[in-house]
Amino acid sequence: MGGHLCCNVEALAPYIGVYNRDVNSLTDKIESKFVDLSSDLPHLPTEFVAWLARWAWLIVAIVGVLYLFDALGFVTLANDFGYAGFFGDASFTSTLYLAAALTAVYGVWYLVAVPGLREHRRRGWQLLFYASLVQVVMVVVVVVLTGLGNIWSLLEVVVLWYLLFQIRPAFVASNEPE
């Protein structure tokens, strides 16, 4: 009781393991559904897919940095609206701050995926896929909280998923377990 918080981490370990298995099972199921859906779509030329898989890390690094700038833009916009008293209440400003936080999360997630993508590791591909799921959550949250639709963000994610599942074999074929 010396003024600091104490926690028995060993006691939580079994629960954390169960949680990780449940989350991995869920994400594997989602990925499997997308694999099934994408198998019926037209395939890009083999040379382009190889080029895209080779340079995915660089493209993702650039896009990740741009998303971080986008998050800063949301913060600036929220500050401007908050100071000017637009929209009569703080809910719109709060939504902009939430959008900034979620955009920063998937921007960082993109950047975290870069080393794995560069080494053609499945984990890098998965991190990018998970980031795209966070993007969808952000779009839904913004639509629910503001009533403002953003079809372009959804279109962006759909195109990303199409390209991701086109290059997936280059990352799943690595020696990592699936």
Query: Helix 46-84 vs helix 122-146: angle between axes, to the nearest 10 degrees?
Result: 40
pLDDT confidence of residue 111: 95
Radius of gyration from C-alpha coordinates of the chain: 20
Greater confidence (159 vs 35) lies with 159
Domain ranges of the chain: 41-172
pLDDT higher than 60, residue 177: no
The highest-confidence range among 75-89, 91-105, 154-168, by mean pLDDT, is 154-168
pLDDT confidence of residue 55: 96
DSSP of 107-139: HHHHHHHHHHHHTT-HHHHHHHHHHHHHHHHHH
Give CA–CA dist 62/35, Å, rounded: 26
Question: pLDDT per residue over 111-165, tens digit each?
Answer: 999 999 999 999 999 999 988 888 888 788 777 776 666 777 788 888 999 999 9
Give CA–CA dist 138/99, Å, rounded: 6
- 128 in Cβ contact with 25 (< 8 Å): no
Mean pLDDT across 26-32: 77
* Mean pLDDT, rounded, of the chain: 79
Structure tokens at 128: 């990018």
Greater confidence (146 vs 86) lies with 146
pLDDT higher than 50, residue 9: no
pLDDT confidence of residue 108: 93
Residue 1 pLDDT class (50, 70, 90 cuts) = very low
pLDDT confidence of residue 138: 79
Residue 5 pLDDT class (50, 70, 90 cuts) = very low
pLDDT confidence of residue 3: 46
Give CA–CA dist 82/100, Å, rounded: 14
Half-sphere exposure in the Cβ direction for 105 (13 Å, CA):
15
pLDDT confidence of residue 152: 78
Mean pLDDT across 33-59: 90
Structure tokens at 117: 């993508």
Mean pLDDT across 13-31: 61
